[in-house]
Structure 1
Amino acid sequence: MRFCDQLNDYIRELDCMAKDICDKSSISASTFSRYRSGERIPAPDSDTLGKICKALHDIALERNYDKSLSDNNYNFDYDSLMQSFTQCEDYASGSNADKQYLQRNFRVLVDVLDISISRLSSYTNYDSSTLFRFRNGARQPSDAIGFASAVSAYVAGELTTVHNMNVLADLLECSTSDISDHNILYQKIYDWLLTNQQHSSAFNSVSHFLDSLDEFDLNAYTKIFHFDKLTIPAMPFQLRTSRFCYGINEMMGCELDFLKATVTSRSDADVTMYSDMPMAEMAKDLDFAKKWMFGMAMLLKKGLHINIVHNLDRSLDELILGLESWIPLYMTGQVSPYYLKGCQNDVFLHFLRVSGAAVISGEAISGHHSDGRYYISKTKEDINYGRTRAKNLLDTALPLMNIYTCIDSAKMQAFLTSYITTDGTRRDIMSSPPLYTISDSLLNSILEHNNTDPATRQRILQYAALQRRSVETILENNIVNIDISYVNSEEFEQYPVMLSLSGMFHDNNIYYDYNEYCRHIKESREYAASHSNYSLNITSSHIFRNLQIHIHEGCWVLISKCNSPAIHFVIRHPKLRDAIEQFVKDF
């Protein structure tokens, strides 16, 4: 039985009114009405639930309720009421894990529906600052069930425009007709908010990343990584209990020791990293850069999750250098990037590395990086203190970008759908022609010669049709500029081109033959000629072969890895977004 049904049964049994309970419990009439309708429920350990139980108990005493005279045989003592309520099915999924799922999924819902936090606050009676903390990951809802219920009620009741329903259908992986009923929509949103949307073992890009480091298609973008000569550090590695290090060279050795200790330890705890130290000097040491990258890759191969808190209060050169260093690691799906908002400091520099095996803490004065001091330790006390600092740091930080892997396909489509009608010029850098410009006859021909099974063929055709509809809607009021790298026959033999299917996370790459590729280029030109707001530029430049960049100017940048397994990350931070937009303009 649901909480609302149990509550209403008790009210009928006592033949009392909602006002009677509100007067005794000091709960507002609007909030209590939502409890009765099922739109919200109180937390199982909250004072509110206790007040409801006490109010029902007091009313039963006042009315001399005798359960022997009733067919229901209800007990209205406080403990029985509390037990009856907390056994309701609404509370069945109120674990700590659900709070984590809810926190992540709430952020996705706010992003794809562009939910107004102030309006949500007014509707749900949650403070705006609290909602912002939930969205940014600084806090978890203490009452996962009640919060999920309140958010679901708001969305189902207030955000049901045609556009929002299409977005929700994509997110919930159903049709709009399936959620046309208010109660069904509420329940689907509620269930989705409390469902685990995390990575599965089916997606394991780490081994692929390590096995093909020298072939990784992002090398043309990062320009600085060559992994073919990397060597595995000697094992086992014994780290001294603790020591101080001074200056840049000792600090780099200290960091490599930290990576070795973490890789070779038995701990599987998350790794947290932060530094506002200058990066240029360390980047000049290519030997260190290679060893550092290999150590990071080994952390990922071990299965560790890395939280990196970026310092964005840097020069543009330093900022791009940092981005170049981390993008390949983001591609694994095991790195969560964060940043600190409004954190400016021109005097003191800080350095922090924390794992389950070691901790490094460093400091320096701005402009005197070479005089910095660093402390590395593997003692339990130092590690525990470091992990407390790391937790506090993450509580303060904000997510830098959204990362989508194959298990996030519904979220990815919902995100894109949510921006279809948002004004703004689009700019794409493509390594292959866009799928929406291809004819069904040519697409069927390509799928046939790739021996695609009928079910997969139908999915790809549907995806192509969805892409066409989306772009047609965008072009009604906005300009779309596309740059496609053209591949001649000689280059095609060495670097065959595949269909642009990363957006649907297709399991296998599907390749053109050269004639099919040329036909699609021709159809893309014809598409451009027939759409006044569409600009197509065919270029012989090949900066990217395994990367596509999609820009919604002033809103976000979407960077997509094309090869299977596909992965996408969306950057909204203005400084990073502007830097990439400028890069594309200079392309």
Structure 2
Amino acid sequence: MYFCEKLDFLMKITNTTNSSLSMYASLDPSFISRLRRGQRSPSKGDSYIKTMAKYFSRHCSESYQRKILYDTLKISSELTESELCDKIIEWLTNTQSPEFQNVGLFLSRIADKTPVRMPSAVKPGGFTIPACETSVLFGIEGKREAVICFLSEVLVQNKPLNLLLFSDEPTDWMTSDPAFTAKWASLMSEVLAKGTKIKIIHTVSRDLDEMLSAIVQWMPLYMTGLIEPYYYPKKRDGIFKRTLFIAPGTAAVISTSVGSMINEAANFLIRDAQAVEAVEQEFNHYFRLCNPLMRIFAAANQHAYMNTLYEFEKEQADAIIKTESLSLLTMPESVISSIMGRISHLGFDPSVYFQNRMELFKKNIDVISFTEIIRLPDPQDVRNGRVAVAFSDILYGGTIYYSAPEYIMHLENIVSLLKEYSGFHVCLITKETDARYMIYAKEDIGLIVAKTSTPPIILAINEENMTAAFWDFLTTTAGEKTYNTPNNKKVIKTLIGYISRLKA
């Protein structure tokens, strides 16, 4: 939410008029009106923000008003009036939405991830598998014990299995105990080392933070290429929550809970063949209603990724891209040839790939808006050859750096594109950002997120809530005003001046 939306929200739930707030804050009613409509924005340190917060904390007195406020600000209902005032000030002055912060945290966390380490040899043992066909274990500790027994049962099989996993119960049981988390991760890596594949249905009705946290948690396992994530695209009431962990023909863990009763819920560890088949059918019926959450590509999946990227780029929708440096879409043929001339043992010829993408790019920007977010590096880094070519770890198997002439030619081509195509824009940012990822989003279509730090991994996502969150992240990074009212002439002037500095 922007400041104007937050102010309007507070005024509506407290039934406050422009005149009453202006009188309390010693401001003109027309100024309040402009703030509320977004025609004016508060400057840093404006004292009236504190005065407004004090007003709203006092006038939010009814229980229903407080409930709405607590839920919106995601704060405790036990705050004093003074503490509530401080929280309102913090909320009003925070220009970054929770979604922006969640996406930023997600990107920094996946950049640090590495694939789960596969054991060189699987040595079953050190665990006890119940002999009975059905065991009932209670609460979170019971769920943990059931899952350990389940994975242990999978391990002792003499062939790899295809596991089916779904849970919309809270995931704290998996992450809140470090000892259990380590044991679970170790067993799961041993299961995957046997060649086991996993289909998992994620719950996207969780809030964005929890959804992104779940993906980060599974990222080391995703990077093995053995896991297929899916999601159910429609809303569910969320009253009854269900967990299904199934190894077809072998074992299953199932549980059901209502609200927060997971601490008391019964968890059933099943080994009866007929019962396992029944819950497998339950999973399959639900699975048929689901869509792929994302496709996952490692560096070894170059061709599959490039085919997916090409299909993605065929979609005609407004687009924003942010890479580690400059996007490959705007790289001229002369720079492509120069870079390829320095690379030996390249497993494929990317020239046709680049040519097809460039033709499609130029065709699309006649009908859509395409924005690239660029942070210009220190000129000395360019001169010293310390600026990485975007995506080089994935395309070339290692980091490739621009020579100074190559980087200059790439920038000059961007200037030419800005002059030639009214639909192409560049947002220049000065704030330092994490250079270990790439985001390429198309509004209401989907996005591609690449972890470009070693080892690289690419996620192709089309779930609408995640697409919207990453789109908002990019527009906020670019600057809402800069994105919505691009000024190509100003950008061209800045780039030409920067190029002159590089050539000096």
* TM-score, scaled to structure 2: 0.61
Structure 1 letter corresponding to 2:400:
Y
SS of 1:369's equivalent? Answer: helix
Pairing partner for 2:337 from 444, 454, 462: 444
Residues 403 and 568, structure 1, Cα contact 8 Å, conserved in 2: yes
Amino acid at match of 2:465: K
* Match of residue 582, structure 1, among 440, 461, 472: 472
Counterpart check, 1:511 vs 2:407: no
Match of 1:537 among 423, 428, 446: 428
Bigger Rg over Cα: 1
Residues 449/321 of structure 1: CA separation in 2 closer, same or farther (3 Å cut): same
Measured on the aligned residues, the alpha-carbon RMSD in Å equals 3.9
The answer to whether the Cα contact below 8 Å between 1:433 and 1:520 also exists between their aligned partners in 2 is no
Aligned to 1:412: 308
Is 1:247 aligned to residue 139 of structure 2?
Answer: yes
Match among 204, 208, 212 for residue 316 of structure 1: 208
* Match runs of 1:285-304 below 5 Å: 285-304=177-196
The superposition leaves residues 522-547 of structure 1 with CA deviations (integer Å, 9 ceiling, x where unpaired) of 346535643443214355634342x3
Q: 1:434 aligns with which of 311, 321, 327?
A: 327
- 1:276 and 1:350 in contact (8 A); partners too: yes
Q: Which residue number in structure 2 is paired with residue 154 of structure 1?
A: none
Q: Are the equivalent residues in 2 in contact too, given 1:549–1:558 (CA < 8 A)?
A: yes
Alpha carbons of structure 1 residues 496 and 526: separation in structure 2 relative to 1, 3 Å: closer
Percent identical: 17
The residue that corresponds to 1:259 in the other structure is 151
Q: Which residue of the partner structure matches residue 393 of structure 1?
A: 286
Question: Contact 1:360 / 1:377 at 8 angstroms: preserved in 2?
Answer: yes
Pick aligned residue for 2:231 from 334, 339, 346: 339
Q: 2:162 maps to what in 1?
A: 270
1:178-214 per-residue CA deviation (whole Å, 9 max, x = no partner) reads: xxxxxxxxxxxxxxxxxxxxxxxxxxxxxxxxxxxxx
Change (3 A) 1:575 1:436: closer
Where in structure 1 are there 5+ consecutive unaligned residues? 1-217
Confirm or deny: 8 A CA contact 2:252 2:276 kept in the other structure: yes
Provide the C-alpha distance between the structure 1 equivalents of 2:305 and 2:403, rounded to a whole number of angstroms: 30
Count of aligned positions: 361
Counterpart CA distance in 1 for 2:276 and 2:116 is 34
In structure 1, what is the equivalent of residue 108 of structure 2?
A: 220
User: Which residue matches 1:306?
Assistant: 198
CA shift, 1:434, in A, is 1.4
Distance change (3 Å), C-alpha of 1:254 and 1:517: farther
Q: State the Cα distance separating 1:377 from its structure 2 match.
A: 3.2
| Alignment partners' CA distance in 2, 1:493 and 1:380 | 66
Q: Structure 2 vs 1, CA of residues 463 and 346 (structure 1 numbering), >3 Å: closer, same or farther?
A: closer
What residue in structure 2 maps to residue 235 of structure 1? Answer: 124
Deviation at 1:343, TM superposition (A): 4.9
Letter in 1 for 2:154: T
> Per-residue deviation at 1:567?
5.7
CA contact (8 A) 1:221 1:544 kept: no
Q: Distance in 2 between matches of 1:286 and 1:416?
A: 39
Give the structure 2 partner of residue 463 of structure 1: 353
SS at match of 1:278: coil
Q: 1:492 to 1:244 in 2, by over 3 A?
A: farther
Give the superposition deviation at 1:551.
0.5
Cα drift, residue 460 of structure 1: 2.4
**Residues 484 and 262 of structure 1: is their aligned pair in 2 closer, same or farther, counting only changes over 3 Å?**
farther
AA in 2 matched with 1:519 = I
- Cross-structure match for 2:388: 497
Task: Give the Å deviation of 1:386.
Answer: 3.2
Change (3 A) 1:410 1:494: closer
Q: Which residue, 379, 383, 390 being the options, matches 2:276?
A: 383
What is the DSSP-based 3-state SS (H/G/I as helix, E as strand, rest coil) of the residue aligned with 1:350?
strand
Contact 2:319-2:440 at 8 Å conserved across structures: yes
Write the letter of the residue equivalent to 2:148: L
Aligned-pair distance for 1:399? 2.8
What's the CA shift for 1:470?
A: 1.9
Quote the offset at 1:287 in angstroms: 4.0
Change (3 A) 1:363 1:318: same
Question: Any stretches of 5+ residues in structure 2 without a counterpart?
Answer: 1-105, 478-504
Q: Deviations over 1:396-417 (max 9, x none)?
A: 3333334564453574255135
Q: Which residue identity lines up with residue 267 of structure 1 in the other structure?
A: K
Secondary structure of the residue aligned to 2:287 is helix
Q: Deviations over 1:119-165 (max 9, x none)?
A: xxxxxxxxxxxxxxxxxxxxxxxxxxxxxxxxxxxxxxxxxxxxxxx
* Between 386-395 and 482-491, the greater mean CA deviation after superposition: 482-491
